[in-house]
Amino acid sequence: MILIYIVILLLASLPTFITLFRINKYRSIRRNGINTKARITQISMQNFFRGQHLLKLSLEYKDYKSGLLVYGEAISANSKHQVGDLVDIAYKPNTSKIYIKGEEKNYRPMLVFAIILLIFMVFAVYKIDEMVINGYV
C-alpha cells in the first residue's frame, strides 16, 4: 500500500517540479545569457481553449558577435505589444530560444496551483491511510 502512496505523491509533485524547472531555466538564461533589445516585426495570435491566447512575436535584434541583424521568435502572454516596439530579451548564443524579460511572472499562478495540488494530495493520502488502518476500506 505504501508503494501506491508514493506513486500518488510523485505524480502530484510532478507539476510543481516542472514549473520550478522552467522558472529556474528562465532565470538562468536571463542571468547568464545575452541581454539586448529587440524590435517586434510581426505579431500572430494563437488562440487556445476558452478564448485565451498567446502572442507569437517575430523579433529582430543585433547579434552580439557580428553585429548583424538576427531574426527570431518568442511567445508572450502580454497583449500590449505592438509591431515596432522594442522589448528587452535574453538569449543564449548557441540556441534559438529567446526569452522576453518580465515574462517569468506568468509561471506564478501555475506554481501556486501546483503547490495547492500537492498539499491536497498529501492530505488525501493521509486520509486514505487513516481509513485503511481503521478498516473502513
Residue 66, pLDDT score: 80
- Determine the Cα–Cα distance for residues 121 and 99; give it in Å rounded to an integer: 33
Residue 107, pLDDT score: 85
Question: Among 57, 30, 23, 20, which Cα is nearest to 41's?
Answer: 57
Within a 13 Å sphere around the CA of 8, how many CA atoms are in the beta-carbon half?
16
Q: With 80 as the cut, is the pLDDT of residue 93 above it?
A: no
Instruction: Report the percent of the chain where pLDDT is more than 90.
Output: 40
**Residue holding cell 539586448?**
36
Q: Compute the average pLDDT of residues 120-128.
A: 95
Residue 126, pLDDT score: 94
